[in-house]
Structure 1
Amino acid sequence: MNMNMNAQATENLELLRRFERLSEQLPGTLYQCRLAPDGSLDFPLVSARMRSMFGIDAEEVMRDPQRFLSGIHTDDIDAMWRSLQRSALKLEVWYHEFRYCHPQGDTRWVRGHATPQRERDGSVLWHGFCEDITQYKRSQLALRESERRYRFIVENVSDLIVLMDADGTCRFASPSVSEVLGYVPEALEAHELVGLMPPDDAPRVQRLLHEAACRGETLRLEVRVRHAKGHYVWLEASCSPYLSPLNGRYEWLLAVARDITDRKRRDMRLHELSTTDSLTGALNRAAFMGCLESSLESANHTNGRLSVVLFDVDHFKATNDSWGHAAGDLVLACLGEVCRTTLRSNDIFGRIGGEEFALILNGQSLQEALVLAERLRCKFEQVRVEFHGHWLNFTVSFGIAERRRGESMKGLLHRADMGLYAAKRLGRNRVQQAS
């Protein structure tokens, strides 16, 4: 009998030694915890890692549970007891995080995990494992603080911040989108933002964004975006891609944009003032010649049709001499008004001299240009201008030429000018095509 007891004791001791050797290889503490029917708590078994984690020898904890329990942070002890009692009542796995005041003076975060079982005497025995998660908690708290700071910035910055995926679908829009574009952020999420751009702009912007993102470069551009009320807003945007470290492809595109509508309006107004004749609303000579050069290059490239019309006011010097320059200006202003209300939106109207004007008619044949010029001539002929109680009238002569293949701008203008010269020579107030 004694031999059997000694053998059993030896076997138990060997098992304990194996348990200790195994527990030393683990990053935390293995333990058994028992809750008696009278509510008392004790630790039948604790691994040697207790010393390194909690600063207490395992034997002390098994002998006096208060040595460990007294170290639990006072703000966490109640929650600890509630979680144990809930686990004991339902025999559910216990899982809890708490702070522990280490004897060295620092506070550590501990995560406990244990499986309960009911004993014959009604007590509950947990088999569990504790690990130190202080670094994880600090990182987690630092991340939360960082997120809190960034969220505060994003939610209060006046610029619009948008995050898109590689397909151009909006995944996040800052609250400032309400102020800038009139949408609530949720209305934009899961939608492709290029759909808010004018159809003529969207393909170009999409291509520029894709090319810059594939190169991993930040793209700065000015775009028009439709406001919730229907009008367009000019935005100055800086778009930065996020490249995946795994495959080098871009996964996200961050756009930070601000409303520059007022600035664009000022710029366009300044451009208009620098290129437009204030009296007639026509382009000035330099701007008109630039448009004619571009139109000719395009027509030569596509072999499209283009006609030029030159015209001026008949006997304009006599009007100035008889009634003064104020009357002459009134005549020119009236001429400009008739042109602006008669011409198509893509017809280009310019003032190239004192009383000399010109039209660029893209896509128009010589015959179509003749019809338009005749319509203008009739309107000018019917106009009466009131000047200090007197009614003034005026007529206009026209010269027309259609682009020939390979013809220079100088050559085209010369032929139209010869048509105008012929109209003057043949009696004025007429439309004459170039030879």
Structure 2
Amino acid sequence: MKKSFDLFLLMFNLSQLNDSERIIDLYMEGMGEIFQPTSLRFAEEKENNSEGVYDLRTSGKYFGSVVVDFEEGIADTDKVMIQNSVLMLATILERVVLQKELEEEKDLYKLKSEERYQKLEKTITELNSIKMGSLNLINDLTEEIDKRKKIEEQLSESEERILLILNSTAEAIYGLDEKGLCTFCNNACLKYLGYSEPSDLIGRNMHNLIHHTKSDLSPFPVEECEIFKAFKEGKFSHVDTEVMWRKDRTSFPAEYWSYPILREKKIIGSVVTFLDITERKKAEDSLRENQRRQQNYATLLSELIRKGSFSSGDLKDNLKNITEIAAQMLNVERGSIWLYNNDGSEIYCIDLYELSKNKHSSGEILNASTFSGYTKEHKKGEVIAASDVYEDERTREIPKSYFEENNIVSLLDAPVWLHGQLFALLSFEEVGKKREWLAEEKQLATTLSSFVSLAFETEQREKAEAALRESETHIRSINNNLTNGIIYQVVALKDGTRKFTYLSESVEKFYGFTATDGMKDPNILYDRIHPEDADKMKEAENKSLKDLSVFNIEVRVRSISGEYRWSNIISHPKLLEDGSVCYDGIEFDITERKLAEEAIEEKSKLDKQISIIATTAPGAMYTYYHDPNGVPSLPYVSKKWAELTGLNPEASEELVEGLFNVVHPNDRAYLQNTIEHSAKTGEDWRAEFRILHKTEGEKWIEGHSSPTLNEDGSIIWYGFIYDITERKKAEAILRETKEYLENLIKYANAPIIVWDSNFKITQFNVAFEKLTGMRREDVLGNDIEVLFPDEKRESSQDLIVATSKGLQFESVEIEIKNLCGQNKLVLWNSANIFDQKKENIIATIAQGLDITERKEAENKLTELNNKLKILVEGIKSLAEANDLEQIQRNVTKFARLLTDSDGSTLIYKDGDKCYYVEEEMVEPLWKEKRFSLDECISGWVMKNNKAVVIKNIYEDPRVPLKYYENTFVKSLFIVPVTTSETIAAIGCYWKDYYEPSEVDLRLLQTLADSTGRPVENVRLYNELERKVEEKTDQLKERLKELERFYDATINRELRMKELRDEIDELKRKIANED
């Protein structure tokens, strides 16, 4: 009984272990203790069946033998227990083996699952590489980073000193390797580009980072980059016309130098040094703007001189020309001229020009006494430049109402002087905005004020000349009709009275009374003396009487007409015996002389003014004369003649010949013809010609003059000439610029078009011809709508019409026709062109960029991204699936989504059959049907392990048409599903003729590659589960048998004990009876 119990405990303990060797060792040890055999050993190899050899065997496996030897033999009960224990031990060992195999299968399943996920991850990586580009770039970048790290680890102390030097320089410096990747950069480089750490740049493609776009925002291909050429072609480059881009996506103009780096005659990279030249560019732009303004000033001044007849002409017209051109010069809204009254208490606007309205007006009066401080500044000769009329001390006195009514914010006023007196001011007023007046604008205002002064001086001179001409006419009339004087004798009596003793007959013509009347009453003559000259007359007579000196006086007397004339009265006194004094004298009419003297004085003043004008005017004044025989001369030239022509103005006899000698040989005939034409027709002379200045070289001269024909047949021209060399240069530059711009537009790589306000095409360059397939001559003058496809014409034309209302295109997509094929999608940018008044749009210029291919690529990329998402989702669903049905449904679902097909199937290779296990279709096909591998196209795919694309099933002999006759299928695409061998296929079908793209092929094949392993895994898992269940059932049955055997053994032992007890009881009873 004890052996049975010990053996049960031993076997129970062994059943809890999982190590076979440990189980056998403990079993042998336990059996030795329980049965104490003579010998006990475990034999791995099978021994001859004999007494004491017990095999450890199950239905499927042999584990070895237990060999037991007893010297005195073995009881039957022990032998049975040993046999049962061996049987139980074999079962336990089989369980351990099965459990180990199950664990190994699980480990294998886990390993294969990991391999499957690794493959899925690889597949996703490969698919992402389609989106992101080639893995070579990643490898290159990784390799470059590794190289950079090695280089950084090997930097020596000397290299660190070099870096310190580089970081201390003001110039930005960075290095490139042969792939254009940054290898180092100094602090200035980081500062200019807006980065904080070198790691932000090192290892990155510098062209793509800072040099990717031109200043006009067009892409900058790396092949055109001079920096690129340095390390690709070994060329040094120096460029200052391009921009670089900062981290914040703003750009700055840069000047850079790129040097190739050679090692053993091989280019390994380049070093780039650059500077931010923003301030220099601003200075250059400012200089160009200043030159442009100066050229504009010169042009408009020339226009002012051309329009203004300052030697003659109407004052109002001259003033209008001045205000109009001056406002254009300064680009200011209001230009005006104001006159002071005699006492300076008021200013009167004689002309106001408003630029935006192109309107002249006058008449406004301001009380100048209220802003005396303003007037004092002008009297000092100061120009008043007020950027804020409300804050400036000099203009705050002016009534605010005047500024507010006219919206005036800034003011620039220059005093106008006439004969040394302030008599007017030239005013410029900016409306609606503040304006800081430039020094050159102040100087220009002063210059223009001199033109105002010149206009008034010209008017006064003309009036004086007119009066002089009138006086001369009057004098001639007197000379023709009157004698030259009066002879008289007068006696001054002692009582102070006067008595004429003789008067010539000419007195009647002088005074209108007869000589007799005059001798009767001398007072009628004295009464004719001008009241202002009467006292002077008496004083002169008294002095002559006192001193008996010659009486000589010039006085004004009233003539017969009632007008006063000048007379020179001269007489010699002689004392008569009676004490009276007799004067014999003569009176001359000196009116003409007096007028001549006044004219001479006026002429002297005029000559002085002309001299000032000739000195300060921009050109040289002259008088050109043709005598009656046509012989030319230059009686007068101003001092600037020598500066302008290089000829000595003192050598008057040589001036004409010298002038024609210095005229360019090619222009001499032209100049002579223009002079002869003016002489014959009397038209104003105007010409532009070249001279060869002895020190300054070739110069362009422009001349203007008006001819006057004299009675003797001679002709005189009064005019001026001035230097127009700079203007001619500017015109040449403008012509070249215009030609350059026209060629730039015509031959620019970018399509450029211009349409006018009526939407007629006026420019159409070569690039646009290529873009549309239309010829320039066929579209010029046509409506721009000819460019648009019929279906897009209305919407496109609406956008074009909007440009006439101020719209400017900024990356607007408009489709245009292409006569050679597919319509083009164009990205438009435009700018509006205004008239001179900046009021009306007269044209629109637009640049187009063909983005058809880019748009198609973007659409394809978007489609690919969407399909990649579908693919990843499909692969994920396969990995997460727990049964075949779920996998099969997912495969057909995602296959159809990936290919946009009308149906998809999953076909298993089932022996020599094709088994259509699952499908997702617009209408059913062959689900759960089987076909021979040899007569099915999917069978061909699985046998050959090759994908097949059939655009037309009726043209491919591999397709069994008998199965397709009543289906919707016209095109198909089938790919194999493989693990270690081909196990299935995925098919996609279309009801129209269709050929899938290469991307579709790769996507579906990737899905197929991701399908095989889940299918195999699920199959293997199911098989393992089946085996485990079978083994478990077998173990359970064995355990039941052991339990029954144990129960039987225990019952038998108990029964034997009872029998022994009964025998012992019988023995005792027998003994007692005995």
Indicate whether the TM-score tops 0.5: yes
- TM-score, with structure 2 as normaliser: 0.26
Matched, 1:313 2:924: yes
Alignment partners' CA distance in 1, 2:633 and 2:739: 42
Q: How many residues align?
A: 324
Deviation of 1:41 (Å):
1.7
Map of 2:784 onto structure 1: 193
Map of 1:254 onto structure 2: 845
Pairing partner for 2:666 from 59, 75, 88: 75
Deviation of 1:112 (Å):
1.2
CA contact (8 A) 2:808 2:832 kept: no
- TM-score, with structure 1 as normaliser: 0.57
Task: Tell me which structure has the larger Cα radius of gyration.
Answer: 2
Matched, 1:241 2:840: no
Deviation of 1:385 (Å):
9.6
Q: Between the two proteins, what is the percent identity of the paired residues?
A: 18
Matched position secondary structure for 1:254: strand
Map of 2:637 onto structure 1: 46
Alignment of 1:26-175 (within 5 A): 26-36=617-627, 38-54=629-645, 58-61=649-652, 64-165=655-756, 168-175=759-766
Pairing partner for 2:936 from 321, 324, 336: 324
Map of 1:24 onto structure 2: 612
Deviation of 1:80 (Å):
1.0
Distance 1:128 1:175, change over 3 A: farther
CA contact (8 A) 1:183 1:228 kept: yes
Deviation of 1:29 (Å):
3.1
Deviation of 1:248 (Å):
8.5
CA contact (8 A) 2:707 2:716 kept: yes
Matched, 1:391 2:982: no
Q: Deviations over 1:261-311 (max 9, x none)?
A: 6666777788889999xxxxxx9515869xxxxxxxxxxxxxxxxxxx962
Distance 1:384 1:254, change over 3 A: closer
Alignment partners' CA distance in 2, 1:176 and 1:36: 64
Alignment partners' CA distance in 2, 1:56 and 1:17: 28
CA contact (8 A) 1:214 1:249 kept: no
CA contact (8 A) 2:623 2:716 kept: yes
Distance 1:206 1:388, change over 3 A: closer
- Which amino acid in 2 is paired with 1:150? L
Distance 1:92 1:259, change over 3 A: same
Alignment partners' CA distance in 1, 2:955 and 2:599: 125
Alignment partners' CA distance in 2, 1:71 and 1:333: 89
Deviation of 1:68 (Å):
3.6
CA contact (8 A) 1:73 1:101 kept: yes
Map of 1:366 onto structure 2: none
- Which amino acid in 2 is paired with 1:225? I
Map of 1:412 onto structure 2: none
- Which amino acid in 2 is paired with 1:285? L
**7-16 or 89-98, which moves further after superposition?**
7-16
Distance 1:272 1:199, change over 3 A: farther
Structure 2 gaps, min length 5: 1-483, 485-587, 868-894, 902-919, 942-947, 969-1074
Q: Deviations over 1:150-207 (max 9, x none)?
A: 2233333344210134664423222444443343334333434244222443455456
Alignment partners' CA distance in 2, 1:212 and 1:46: 57
Calculate the aligned-residue CA RMSD, in Å.
4.8
Alignment partners' CA distance in 1, 2:930 and 2:862: 32
Deviation of 1:140 (Å):
0.8
Q: Deviations over 1:46-79 (max 9, x none)?
A: 3444355445565544774334443323332222
Greater RCO, 1 or 2 (C-alpha within 8 Å, sep 6+) = 1
Alignment partners' CA distance in 2, 1:67 and 1:226: 67
Task: Give 1 or 2: higher helix fraction.
Answer: 2
**5-14 or 124-133, which moves further after superposition?**
5-14
CA contact (8 A) 2:828 2:849 kept: no
Distance 1:166 1:102, change over 3 A: same
Matched position secondary structure for 1:201: helix
Distance 1:333 1:23, change over 3 A: same
Alignment partners' CA distance in 2, 1:22 and 1:75: 34
Alignment partners' CA distance in 2, 1:42 and 1:28: 19
Matched position secondary structure for 2:923: strand
Map of 1:11 onto structure 2: 599
- Which amino acid in 2 is paired with 1:24? I
Alignment partners' CA distance in 2, 1:198 and 1:284: 35
CA contact (8 A) 1:220 1:237 kept: yes
Distance 1:195 1:64, change over 3 A: closer
Matched position secondary structure for 1:116: strand
Distance 1:228 1:86, change over 3 A: farther
